[in-house]
Structure 1
Amino acid sequence: MKNEKVTKITFSDFQQSLDCFYRYLQQEKGLSLHTQKNYKHQLKIVTSHLIQMGVKKWKQVDSRKVRQLVSKGMRQGMKASCLATRLSSLRSFLDFLILRGELSINPAKEVSAPRRERPLPKNLDINEIFQLLEINDNNPLSIRDRAMMELMYGSGLRLAEMVNINTHDISACMGEIRVLGKGNKERKVPFTGLAKTWVKKWIKVRVQFAKHNENALFTSKLGVRISHRNVQKRLTEWGKKQSVPSRISPHKLRHSFATHMLESSSNLRAVQELLGHENISTTQIYTHLDFQHLSKVYDQAHPRAKKRKE
């Protein structure tokens, strides 16, 4: 009975500070009811765990206790995103206690949430790429759109890099294009094959749209540099027109370029340079896709794998 009484008193002491925090969220922060409900749910669980650890006051919560909370969640199979939400709720509450003068430091800020699994980028297979790019319409805007898609897939460009290309950035004789990547870092990418063919076709009809002194390679019907949103919209429309099963986006064309290059060459460093990745760890995500490809080939070709499937 004595233990039960201590637990009740301890929980009541925790609840008093929590209620003040909830009023603060509602009255001063003006958070939505949904967000407030999430805070209450997460902090209720945290409080229960702390009581089980023998914590009686918020001042007794240190970084070791917070790590124990995270470890317990991981043992219970919580997703990294859910643990991050729980830890964020605790950080906000402890910041509130600092604001009230009840704490001097926030121990939850010393603890990092588990790293979330990075989703594998989605790419188009070769057949889908050919189906998408089989556009032989002589309409100038169709020529422009195919040139953009051929260039993004042919050179692995980011959307912003492609949109920002100026006419003087192209060196047809050298077979390269100068692009400005993330962090204003300049690099040169190959400019050959069908990408080169269709960009040249677009340049011939570009004069029908581009305003005087407009330097942008790709322009809209208004004669100015085409917008990111316009490119995304046009690619989505072409995906539907060409009856491609997958949804088309600039990112997918870039990811498809990287995946297909890696499958063909297995040269991670070269793909890193072509994509303009500062760290090779960013490019390594495509090795997972390459492994998926190899696994599929293995399952289809290896005698023992085929027998197992049968």
Structure 2
Amino acid sequence: MSAARPLSEPDLIHRHLEHLRVQRRLAERTLAMYAEAFARLQRACEAQRIGLTQVQAHHVRGWVGQLHGQGLGPRSIAIALSAWRGLYRWLAQEHLVATNPAEGIRAPKAPKPLPKALTVDQAVALAEAQPKPEVMVARAATAAAARRMETEGPWLSARDHAMVELMYGSGLRSAELLGLDVHPGPGAHGWIDLQAGEAHVLGKGSKRRIVPMGAAARRALQAWLQVRASLVAPQDSALFLSRLGRRITAAQWRKRLQQLALDAGLTQHVHPHMLRHSFASHLLQSSGDLRAVQELLGHAHIGTTQVYTRLDHQHLARVYDAAHPRAKRK
């Protein structure tokens, strides 16, 4: 009886793909991406004139570098490496290789996208936007909603104005803003001190910090507190309230801010964290003091704050391109 014929490399890859499809039940899209990764592996082996089972770690490192040099993105390279690691793990189980040459090799890091920030003019327009009550009433879907908005308009506008001014003026996270109470207390996550011009907030990792409030935020908060006093009982602690008199939620604030951006004439999508990004970017552009911005934002590591130097560089590049006579390109 003759020995079984060894499987060819395409047969091995086909068997592995079947294993992934039947045993691992991978999705069709994932299988297609893995098949493409195995095709890349086969082409690389052919170029090196080595067999699939002869691949060593230095080969894989070199191929990763080549893929990166050819413009393949970090995510695509990571998918290829994941496929190769799985293949060689399976080959080891089949006693066809002794080690996994792709183990421990990582794809190049994907560049972190820059946080989106408003321009100074856009941020000021948003902070100063005061929706007219008659416009809000006109947007109401029913007569009852219109009647409610006729009375809600002034207090809602005062609340929104204070929230935008405080978030942009002090660089608070959305959770820090929404967690603020009117006064300090045993269970308070944060509170405001208008006399001192400070906000005491509870940040990430349950770390407390004190941030200054600008004059505009203090004026907006004073106006809101006067309105708020007529809406709730003195013992209610939440600084910012919803229409129902409860602490406003993150989803409610996100939706409300989107509407405020439309009222201010902004065309892009605006979300709460964009106000924090704008605070950091504009402060860094004016001061250049990265350490101060780190402290105000409550970042544990300076590296987290350094992303705003890239935003600042983009601002400088735009100024240069617009103003310098030798920067204009045909």
The answer for unaligned runs of 5 or more in structure 2 is 1-6, 132-152, 185-190
1:178 Cα deviation after fit: 1.1
Counterpart CA distance in 2 for 1:216 and 1:107 is 58
Counterpart CA distance in 2 for 1:129 and 1:103 is 60
Counterpart CA distance in 2 for 1:92 and 1:207 is 63
Q: What's the CA shift string for 1:208-264, capped at 9, x where partnerless?
A: 555775432222122222111111111111111221122211121111111111111
TM-score (norm 1): 0.84
Asked if the contact 1:11–1:51 (Cα under 8 Å) also holds between the matched residues in 2, the reply is: no
Match of 1:130 in 2: 124
1:130 Cα deviation after fit: 2.1
Counterpart CA distance in 2 for 1:181 and 1:101 is 53
Correspondence for 2:73 among 43, 59, 79 = 79
Partner SS, residue 221 of structure 1? coil
Counterpart CA distance in 2 for 1:128 and 1:222 is 31
- Cα separation, partners in 2 of 1:289 and 1:279, compared to 1, 3 Å: same
Correspondence for 1:121 among 115, 128, 138 = 115
Counterpart CA distance in 1 for 2:227 and 2:86 is 57
- Cα separation, partners in 2 of 1:107 and 1:309, compared to 1, 3 Å: closer
* Identity percentage of aligned residues: 38
Counterpart CA distance in 1 for 2:252 and 2:123 is 20
- Cα separation, partners in 2 of 1:89 and 1:145, compared to 1, 3 Å: farther
Counterpart CA distance in 2 for 1:102 and 1:139 is 75
Amino acid at match of 1:90: W
Counterpart CA distance in 2 for 1:120 and 1:207 is 41
1:116 Cα deviation after fit: 0.7
Number of equivalent positions: 298
Q: What's the CA shift string for 1:62-120, capped at 9, x where partnerless?
A: 43232122112112121222212222333344455567777776543411210111212
Structure ranking higher in helix proportion:
1
Asked if the contact 2:42–2:52 (Cα under 8 Å) also holds between the matched residues in 1, the reply is: no
Correspondence for 1:172 among 194, 203, 213 = 194
Report whether the alignment pairs 1:159 with 2:174: yes
- Cα separation, partners in 2 of 1:225 and 1:43, compared to 1, 3 Å: farther
1:149 Cα deviation after fit: 0.9
Matches of residues 30-49 of structure 1 in structure 2 within 5 Å?
A: 31-49=26-44
Counterpart CA distance in 2 for 1:50 and 1:210 is 73
Task: Please report the RMSD computed on the Cα atoms of aligned residues, expressed in angstroms.
Answer: 2.8
Match of 2:305 in 1: 283
Match of 1:11 in 2: 10
Counterpart CA distance in 2 for 1:212 and 1:32 is 57
Matches of residues 133-282 of structure 1 in structure 2 within 5 Å?
A: 133-136=127-130, 139-167=154-182, 168=184, 169-210=191-232, 213-282=235-304
Amino acid at match of 2:126: L
Asked if the contact 2:197–2:212 (Cα under 8 Å) also holds between the matched residues in 1, the reply is: yes
- Cα separation, partners in 2 of 1:42 and 1:126, compared to 1, 3 Å: same
Q: Which moved more, 1:10-19 or 1:79-88?
A: 10-19
TM-score (norm 2): 0.80
Amino acid at match of 1:16: R
Counterpart CA distance in 1 for 2:30 and 2:226 is 55
Correspondence for 1:108 among 94, 102, 105 = 102
The answer for unaligned runs of 5 or more in structure 1 is 1-7
Partner SS, residue 236 of structure 1? helix
Report whether the alignment pairs 1:301 with 2:295: no
